[in-house]
């Protein structure tokens, strides 16, 4: 059996060392047939973007003899395409590791990438450099180049290579948006977007030295943001049929992989765990998950975890409106939600726009669905793709709950629900609000965002013991939270929240919440199931203040 390419994204290393390779070389033909001057291919993380760009580099680059890498591959059967092999100067940059907490650190990392790229080509550039260009080169090498010089460095390098080889340049830029995600999380979004806008515009717009450019990332940021300077950009997202089978593994490719490693007997379970991503009309698997599964001798697990990217998702979910969290509860219950999505995103204020939140989750790989264009809008039934992502959601929400309250406090919370101890429950909710508002940078006057995240925390952490429901009909109205014990002899719990403004009284509001539970007959649903012991909690909240009233129904 061939070795598995765990963590290998260099195409030459993979081919030279005869690792197992699922042939994606027809990407080359599709790119050339597309004839786009600048092509953006956004895909979720760990779907083979870096390996595919590395493959493009070794195919087109005139920097070495790489012909043998493509022997016996699918692209080798197309002589007209093979005529392009090793014919172009190629610049290949990846921003995947530019994920730091300050703008200065990010600029330093990008400057280092530019330095390393110029060093690679210096032997062929030195003869054609002018005196001023040589001075610019020295400042790049000495890491003293200013913002403007670094922003124009990719264009400068391309022009120098064009002058030397008399052949237009191909630019490959991997994970262009990784620095943008980090900038949004750490508060230097404006500086980063201005730099990336100028960097891309200089290199890719009206550049006479450019043959074509290919960019990958997770998201397409809105044209009025990063790509405002590019009028030659062709974007093919997961909603488009083009390139839909070039990132990720198709069912036929997975079947061959499982057969090679004698794991075909687990095919159906593999589909349940890792299948389900819909790229236009093609269904694909996450390559990282499949290769990790095979490497672990067929052990199922959640292999797609990545702390920094997950932190961004949790931050957006925590800040999002109530309806997003209600819909997320439906998704975690195995249902679908029909929502509109948009291919282009702008990060500032993303959590205040439902369409932006759902788009982020879809294009990042946390949701999937068959999306159709209806009267100019992309609309589809969104679902959690598979068991792996379902478990990832549970882990993220549970971790956020455990960060906000201690494990000992959570044990007391669980006990207070079983015993109907409102005093302990009130204390723990207060502790949760204080910590979660700080943890997710929520305004003090928006504690309801924490309440709904608290509900999701209950949903995933108590699901073995309770059926956790929220915002559902029972009796003559809709309750906030209902905990239905799976053991009908145990206590059921109904919780009603009241948000109180500055003019209202906490005690009166908590009593009104209790009266609503009684008047609307919320307990009817549990009574019908044969649950006899039910405790009602009426909880009034004013900012970070909490007051609880309770009554046995």
**Per-residue pLDDT tens for 154-207?**
999 999 999 999 999 999 999 999 999 999 889 999 999 999 999 999 999 989
**Least confident among 2-16, 131-145, 494-508:** 494-508
126 against 382, higher pLDDT: 382
pLDDT of residue 446: 62
* The Cα angle at residue 82 between residues 79 and 83, in degrees rounded to 5: 90
- SS3 (DSSP) at 278: strand
Q: Say if strands 377-382 and 371-374 run parallel, antiparallel, or are unpaired.
A: antiparallel
Please say whether the beta carbons of 553 and 517 come within 8 A: yes
Q: What confidence tier does 448 reach under pLDDT thresholds 50, 70, 90? A: low
> How far apart are alpha carbons 169 and 109 in whole angstroms?
24
For the ranges 90-94, 320-324, 390-394, the one whose mean pLDDT is highest: 90-94
For the ranges 120-124, 210-214, 305-309, the one whose mean pLDDT is highest: 210-214
**Per-residue pLDDT tens for 241-295?**
999 999 999 999 999 999 999 999 999 999 999 998 999 999 999 999 999 999 9
Average pLDDT over residues 96-108: 95
Tell whether the model's pLDDT for residue 543 goes beyond 80.
Answer: no
pLDDT of residue 308: 60
pTM over 0.75: yes
* Residue 169: strand pairing partners: 210
- Calculate what percentage of the chain has a pLDDT beyond 90: 59
- SS3 (DSSP) at 11: helix
> How far apart are alpha carbons 497 and 512 in whole angstroms?
10
Q: What confidence tier does 529 reach under pLDDT thresholds 50, 70, 90? A: very high
pLDDT of residue 81: 97
> How far apart are alpha carbons 71 and 166 in whole angstroms?
28
Closest to 468 in 3D by CA, of 498, 428, 495: 495
Tell whether the model's pLDDT for residue 484 goes beyond 70.
Answer: yes
pLDDT of residue 224: 53
Tell whether the model's pLDDT for residue 334 goes beyond 70.
Answer: yes
> How far apart are alpha carbons 121 and 129 in whole angstroms?
12
From residue 48, alpha-carbon distances to 52, 257, 296, 385, 387 in Å are 6, 16, 20, 18, 21
Closest to 187 in 3D by CA, of 261, 101, 119, 254: 101
485 φ/ψ angles, rounded to the nearest 5 degrees = -70, 140
Residues of the chain with CATH 3.40.50: 11-235
- CATH number attached to the domain at 11-235: 3.40.50
pLDDT of residue 208: 93
Tell whether the model's pLDDT for residue 468 goes beyond 70.
Answer: yes
Q: Is the dihedral of CA 22, 176, 31, 171 positive or negative?
A: negative
What is the secondary structure of 507-552 as a DSSP string?
A: HHHHHHHHHHHHHTTTTHHHHHTT---EEEEEEEEETTEEEEEEEE
**Per-residue pLDDT tens for 347-382?**
777 777 888 899 999 999 999 999 999 988 999 999
> How far apart are alpha carbons 541 and 500 in whole angstroms?
6
- SS3 (DSSP) at 183: helix
Tell whether the model's pLDDT for residue 406 goes beyond 90.
Answer: no
471 against 483, higher pLDDT: 483
> How far apart are alpha carbons 6 and 376 in whole angstroms?
41
From residue 212, alpha-carbon distances to 155, 238, 406 in Å are 13, 21, 54
82 against 232, higher pLDDT: 82
pLDDT of residue 345: 79
Tell whether the model's pLDDT for residue 52 goes beyond 90.
Answer: yes
- SS3 (DSSP) at 286: coil
Other CB atoms within 10 Å distance of the CB of residue 147? 13
417 φ/ψ angles, rounded to the nearest 5 degrees = -70, -40
Residue 524 corresponds to which tokens in the numbers above? Answer: 């009817």
* Mean predicted lDDT score pLDDT of the chain: 89
**Per-residue pLDDT tens for 209-233?**
999 999 999 988 765 578 877 778 9
Tell whether the model's pLDDT for residue 476 goes beyond 60.
Answer: no
> How far apart are alpha carbons 88 and 93 in whole angstroms?
16
- Calculate what percentage of the chain has a pLDDT beyond 70: 94
Please say whether the beta carbons of 75 and 29 come within 8 A: yes
Residue 250 corresponds to which tokens in the numbers above? Answer: 């198709």
Closest to 48 in 3D by CA, of 365, 285, 280, 287: 287
Average pLDDT over residues 449-453: 70
* Residue 547: strand pairing partners: 540
What is the secondary structure of 320-378 as a DSSP string?
A: S-HHHHHHHHHHHTT--EEEEE-SEE--TTGGG-HHHHHHHHHHTTS-B--EEEETTEE
For the ranges 84-93, 330-339, 407-416, 455-464, the one whose mean pLDDT is highest: 84-93
81 against 324, higher pLDDT: 81
Q: Is the dihedral of CA 254, 385, 40, 155 positive or negative?
A: negative
Q: CB burial class (10 A; 0-12, 13-18, 19+) of residue 474?
A: buried
**Least confident among 10-24, 263-277, 521-535:** 521-535
Sheet holding 377-382, edge to edge: 337-341, 377-382, 371-374
pLDDT of residue 276: 84
């Amino acid at each position: 059996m061939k070795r598995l390419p765990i963590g290998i994204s260099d195409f030459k290393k993979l081919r030279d060392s005869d690792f197992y390779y699922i042939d994606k070389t027809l990407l080359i033909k599709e790119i050339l047939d597309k004839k786009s001057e600048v092509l953006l291919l956004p895909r979720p993380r760990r779907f083979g973007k870096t390996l595919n760009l590395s493959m493009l580099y070794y195919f087109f680059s005139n920097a070495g003899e790489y012909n043998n890498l493509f022997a016996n591959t699918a692209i080798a059967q197309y002589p007209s395409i093979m005529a392009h092999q090793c014919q172009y100067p190629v610049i290949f940059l990846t921003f995947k590791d530019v994920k730091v907490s300050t703008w200065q650190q990010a600029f330093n990392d990008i400057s280092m990438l530019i330095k390393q790229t110029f060093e690679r080509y210096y032997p062929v550039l030195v003869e054609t450099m002018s005196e001023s260009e040589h001075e610019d080169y020295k400042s790049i090498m000495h890491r003293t180049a200013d913002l403007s010089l670094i922003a124009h460095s990719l264009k400068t390098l391309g022009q120098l290579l064009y002058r030397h080889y008399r052949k237009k340049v191909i630019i490959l830029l991997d994970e262009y948006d990784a620095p943008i995600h980090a900038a949004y999380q750490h508060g230097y979004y404006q500086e980063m977007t201005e730099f990336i806008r100028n960097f891309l515009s200089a290199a890719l717009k009206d550049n006479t030295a450019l043959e074509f450019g290919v960019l990958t990332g997770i998201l397409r940021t809105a044209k009025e943001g990063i790509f405002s300077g590019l009028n030659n950009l062709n974007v093919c997202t997961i909603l488009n049929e083009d390139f839909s089978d070039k990132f990720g593994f198709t069912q036929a490719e997975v079947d061959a992989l499982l057969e090679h490693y004698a794991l075909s007997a687990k095919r159906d379970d593999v589909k349940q765990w890792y299948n389900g991503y819909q790229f236009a009309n093609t269904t694909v698997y996450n390559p990282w998950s499949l290769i990790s599964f095979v490497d672990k001798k067929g052990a199922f697990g959640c292999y797609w975890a990545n702390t920094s990217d997950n932190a961004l998702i949790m931050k957006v979910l925590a800040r999002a409106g109530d309806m997003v969290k209600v819909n997320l509860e439906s998704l975690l219950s195995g249902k679908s939600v029909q929502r509109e999505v948009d291919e282009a995103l702008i990060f500032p204020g993303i959590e205040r726009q439902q369409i932006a939140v759902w788009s982020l989750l879809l294009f990042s790989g946390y949701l999937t669905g068959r999306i159709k264009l209806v009267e100019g809008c992309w609309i589809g039934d969104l679902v959690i793709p598979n068991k792996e992502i379902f478990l990832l959601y549970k882990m993220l929400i549970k971790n956020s709950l455990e960060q906000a309250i201690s494990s000992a406090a959570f044990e007391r919370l669980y006990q207070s629900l079983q015993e109907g101890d409102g005093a302990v429950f009130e204390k723990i909710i207060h502790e949760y609000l204080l910590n979660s508002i700080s943890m997710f940078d929520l305004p003090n006057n928006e504690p309801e965002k924490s309440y709904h995240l608290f509900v999701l925390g209950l949903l995933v952490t108590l699901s073995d013991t309770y059926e956790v429901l929220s915002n559902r009909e029972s009796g003559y109205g809709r309750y906030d939270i209902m905990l239905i014990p799976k053991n009908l002899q145990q206590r059921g719990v109904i919780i009603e929240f009241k948000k109180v403004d500055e003019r209202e009284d906490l005690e009166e509001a908590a009593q009104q919440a209790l009266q609503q539970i009684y008047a609307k007959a919320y307990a009817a649903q549990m009574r019908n199931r044969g649950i006899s012991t039910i405790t009602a909690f009426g909880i009034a909240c004013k900012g970070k203040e909490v007051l609880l009233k309770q009554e046995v129904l």
